[in-house]
Chain A
Amino acid sequence: MTTTGPARTTGAVAPVVAPMLELRGVRAAYDSIDVLHGIDLVVPAGQVIALLGPNGAGKTTTLKVASGLHPAAAGDVFIAGRRVNGARADELACRGLCLVPEGRGVFPNLTVRENLWVMTYAGRSRSEIEEAAYARFPVLAERRHQHAGTLSGGEQQMLAMARGLATDPALLILDELSMGLAPLVVEQLYGLVADVAAEGVSILVVEQFARVVLGVASRAAVMVAGHIVHEGLPAEIEATLSESYLGAGETEH
């Protein structure tokens, strides 16, 4: 599998980089309720894309479809140029896609160490993963024998991020990183996101409260009611944000 490498050459004319993630006309539904009405979204290799939108816009569902947790009713999902419709989430995870889900992406009844051990399915050994995680977040090393459920919210989110980063994913998908966290912690986490992006990882970030993520994103899209209604540079998006939200909540931060 070469999906972990971002570059792929097609033809002799010029090297064209396939986007890391591309959704084409994706539709999805829960039972009979349509949630996504044809989403087109591209995460170019090595860039940070922010997906914004009010509650219930379908952002999380978009991520679920992209990561194989929820089937697409129509349309195609490409990862590094390969069509991956119907692939299971664990297959994608083993091939370099990492989704940090909404809330805390940790197993509360496992110790920190055991949480890290679960990540060995993508091909890294236990010690490699532990080293990588502790190097990035020294606080986790202190807490290695503690149950993840007893960590603070920020530490739990760090553990979840550590999981994502320790396996060297090609594509990192972050869902509502800031949920329930203190502003300072959120800032730190987004600083980390910027660092990771600088290492060449493609990142798709979903946020409901948008300002903080626009600081690190190279482009952003706004979703409302299952459609992408705005797309552009962070500055443009910021200007039109309140209009797009249409009273769906304040957009401070």
Chain B
Amino acid sequence: METFLVYTFIGLTTAAIYAVIASGLVLTYTTTGVFNFAHGAIGMLAAFAYWQMHEAWHWPTLVAVLVDLLVLGPLLGLFLERVIMRGLGGTSEATKLVVSISLLVAMIGLANVLWNPDVGRTVYPFFNGRKIRLGPTALSYHQLITIIVAILVALGLRLLLTRSRLGVTMRAVVDDPALTQLNGAHPTRVAQFSWAIGCSLAALGGVLVVSSTVLNASGLALLIVNAYAAAIFGRLRSLPLTFVGAIILGLADGYLRGYLPQNDYLTALPLAAPAILLFIVLLAMPNRRLRTHVRTREYFPAPTVRGAVLFCIVVLLGGLMMATTMSTIDLPTYSQLFAIGIIALSLVPLVGFAGQISLCQLSFAGIGAVCMAHVGINGNPLGFVVAILVCGVVGALVALPALRLQGIYLALATAAFAVFLDQWVFHLPDFDVGPIHLGSTTVVPHIMHFSTFSLGSVNVSTVKLFGYNVITPTAQMVLATVLFVICFAIVCFIRRSRFGRRLLAMRDSEAACATFGLDLLGTRLSVFAMSAAMAGLGGALYGTQLTAVTPDRFNFVAGLPIFMMVVVGGAGFASAGLFAGVSLNALLPFMTTVFNSFGKYQLILTGGVGIGLGREPSGAAPQIATGFIALREDLPVIVSMLCLMVVTWAGRLINLYPNWPMLIALFVIFVGAVAIASRRRLVARGIARAAVTGAAAADVEEVPLEWVGVTVPWTPELLAKTEQVLGLGSVTYEAVGAATIRRGGAS
């Protein structure tokens, strides 16, 4: 009984904290439409700020708490609204998600810069953990305060949202911002207010939770992720249900800690429990209606055959150059860019084409790596095949229940799957399915021996292809390049194929697709399976490059930057895969070798890049591409550029000069080619335009009237012609003073 009460109180306290955090999340989501993944990180920053004020500067508890909740929290909220969230209107879920995930990453980075993570910090509970006796057990003041605060928050929010004009307006903005404005409300002020309250609630959660856990940036930011499951109980809308969800989660957490038998298999289960509950709750969501038309700012045209081929050639050449010129110390680092690139590429058909969100691609990669480790022993290339097949099947299995979900819910379901894998499954010791004995008879035979990371790390041997062992770093680099180019070509092919057009159609309007008789289920299932299979291949390759893999390589947080970078690169473009690989596994290590302190700011920078996405929702790839558009269309310049590059490379190969001059020379050649191509393009265009204007001037009659004002500006002649065609020439009007309607047109 006593243990039961103790764990009940622990559970209720956890529930109270979850409830406070989740209600802030629900508030900002319902009023601004942005699901703030960084909500936990805001609580984390507030917890650190509290430590700074209370423990380091010795401010009184109450002052520190009030400054945190009433000054820092709201200020941060206003800042976020002004700088980041205001630009997100009309963007896709993926873009909104990436911006808030980037914020999460940047905030973890910021906390690590401000508060050295190697220093241990403790925050004591309120009233130094004094307790009041309650029958056979005791309840600490801190626990009591936490529970009371949660109840007050619940009541306060209820009143705010249903009784006050501001609260009602906050909900009105969700339905129709323009209409709210027509009613006289200032939409920006409403959004600012909800961000301020939301951040304040996150801060409150952070301050309450910090004494019962370790003050660690990423740990805190993600511990609070568990609170998201509570928010999902309320379907991100209902606050009462959110509180119910928080209580269920909190109690489950408390009782699992208290009563779960301790063994190798179940120790880690409580950590994964919120994720499992989240997944279950998501499955219980009612069927949504099919989406009809979504209007987004993103635009992803199909790649041209020529562009794709050119891209493949350049990547192959680049890979070969790196393979032949880099030192054997650098090669293993940089060849990872193609493995990560393949994992990133697997997101393109899913996120970019089909508009589905998956945050568990790196977990699929982890499964791929495990397959490679256990099947590809002694370089058996079958490992790749098994990785692809297993991941495809697992991907389909994950997709099957998640199929009914969309947008943010799908993102959360896949995130839950990733957390479930990295918190529990990847930490399981080897186990067998079957045999089950009843007495002396075997009821179920031995089915399979399962093995993940064997409680540590597993070795992945290098692969043998056609009798050749790909063991040298050079060979590995070449293999990685080739595999990447193949995957790139597959993705480009998909985009141009019937299947790809289906995916795009499905993204634009599921309802329309269903009326055409398109099999939505099959299409979504196959794109999920395909994408998981590709991620598995990437993971298997990644495994062979790392030679030994550990679960933390494939955890949920490690996967976020890949997702971010793909969307930043432009999720609908296959080149975004390379963009992600290069920026995460080539630029960052490169910068760190050049500037030593760079590693410290790496997370902030990565996050900053993602946050910038809000400004340009189609991503960076199209912008980079427009810069090169002239070059791409100019075959003579391309060929000469490639020839010059090959010559430079050859010079390096016969050791005329070291790597640095070659890099600089390559860069100069490239910039020169871009400049020359743009110049040639301008000249060619000038000639073309002269020809066109000459023709047009001679022939005003040819201008199609319905396009006047769109492609051609209005001129008096065209107006006259319009009137003539419309038969309005004979109608004339006189202005009879200000109190009548006058005729339109140029007067």
Q: Which residues of A contact B (CB under 8 A)?
A: 16-19, 22, 25, 33-35, 37-42, 44, 49, 67, 69, 88-90, 93-94, 98-99, 101, 105-110, 114-115, 117-122, 126, 163, 219, 221, 223-231, 240, 243-244, 246
Contact = CB atoms under 8 A, between A and B. Distances in A.
A119 B175 contact: no
A34 B182 CA distance: 24
Given A40-B744, A42-B740, A89 B181 contact: yes
A99 B171 contact: no
A89 B188 CA distance: 12
A158 B746 CA distance: 39
Nearest to A113: B168
B742 A107 contact: no
Contact of B722 (A42, A107, A225, A230): A225
Contacts of A33: 709-710
Q: Main SS of the interface on chain A? A: mixed
Interface stretch (B41-49, B671-679, B727-735): B727-735
A115 B175 CA distance: 11
Given A89-B181, A114-B172, 13 more contacts: A22-B738, A37-B714, A41-B742, A42-B739, A42-B741, A114-B168, A122-B183, A228-B744, A228-B745, A230-B731, A231-B741, A240-B731, A244-B726
Contact of A120 (B165, B182, B714, B739): B165
B739 A67 contact: no
A225 B187 CA distance: 32
A89 B178 contact: yes
B739 A224 contact: no
A19 B736 CA distance: 13
Contact of B739 (A19, A40, A122, A240): A19
Contacts of B740: 42, 44, 219, 231
A19 B738 contact: yes
B743 A228 contact: yes
11 contacts: A37-B745, A38-B745, A42-B742, A49-B741, A88-B186, A93-B183, A107-B175, A118-B183, A119-B183, A126-B165, A223-B744
A44 B744 contact: no
Contact of B175 (A109, A163, A221, A229): A109
B722 A110 contact: no
B183 A163 contact: yes
Contacts of A98: 182
B176 interface: yes
A93 B743 contact: no
A106 B179 CA distance: 8
A22 B162 CA distance: 39
Contacts of A223: 744
A121 B183 contact: yes
A33 B706 CA distance: 12
Contacts of A40: 741-744, 747
Contacts of B726: 224, 229, 244, 246
Contacts of B731: 229-230, 240
Interface residues of B, number: 39
A122 B174 CA distance: 21
B735 to A, nearest CB: 9
A227 B744 contact: yes
A233 B287 CA distance: 53
Contacts of A22: 738
A231 B710 CA distance: 25
Interface in B601-616: none
Nearest to A114: B168
B168 A118 contact: yes
Nearest to B180: A118
Nearest to A17: B739
A234 B746 CA distance: 24
B38 to A, nearest CB: 26
Given A69-B178, A118-B168, A230-B731, A41 B741 contact: yes
A227 B705 CA distance: 14
B135 interface: no
Given A42-B738, A109-B175, A118-B169, A231 B182 contact: no
Contacts of A219: 740-741
A90 B172 contact: no
B184 interface: yes
A117 B165 contact: yes
B185 interface: yes
A246 B709 CA distance: 19
Interface string B466-503: 00000000000000000000000000000000000000
A244 B728 CA distance: 8
Nearest to A108: B175
Nearest to B30: A109
B739 A39 contact: no
A147 to B, nearest CB: 10
Contacts of A243: 727
A22 B180 CA distance: 24
A107 B744 contact: no
| 4 closest A-B pairs by CB | A121-B184, A228-B744, A93-B184, A107-B175
A185 B741 CA distance: 29
B184 A94 contact: yes
A139 to B, nearest CB: 21
A88 B181 contact: yes
A49 B172 CA distance: 30
A25 B692 CA distance: 32
Contacts of A240: 731
Contacts of B186: 88, 90
A110 B175 contact: yes
Nearest to A47: B739
Interface in B707-730: 709-710, 713-714, 722, 726-728
Given A90-B184, A101-B178, A38 B710 contact: no
A93 B741 contact: no
Of A121, A221, A227, chain B has the most CB atoms within 10 Å of the CB of: A227
B744 A38 contact: yes
Contact of B182 (A25, A69, A126, A230): A69
B86 to A, nearest CB: 15
A107 B747 contact: no
B176 A107 contact: yes
A244 B727 CA distance: 9
Contacts of A118: 165, 168-169, 172, 180, 183, 185
Contacts of B709: 33-35, 37, 225-226
B710 A90 contact: no
B179 A105 contact: yes
A142 to B, nearest CB: 20
Contacts of B728: 229-230
Most buried by B among A18, A49, A110: A110
Contacts of A228: 741, 743-745
A109 to B, nearest CB: 5
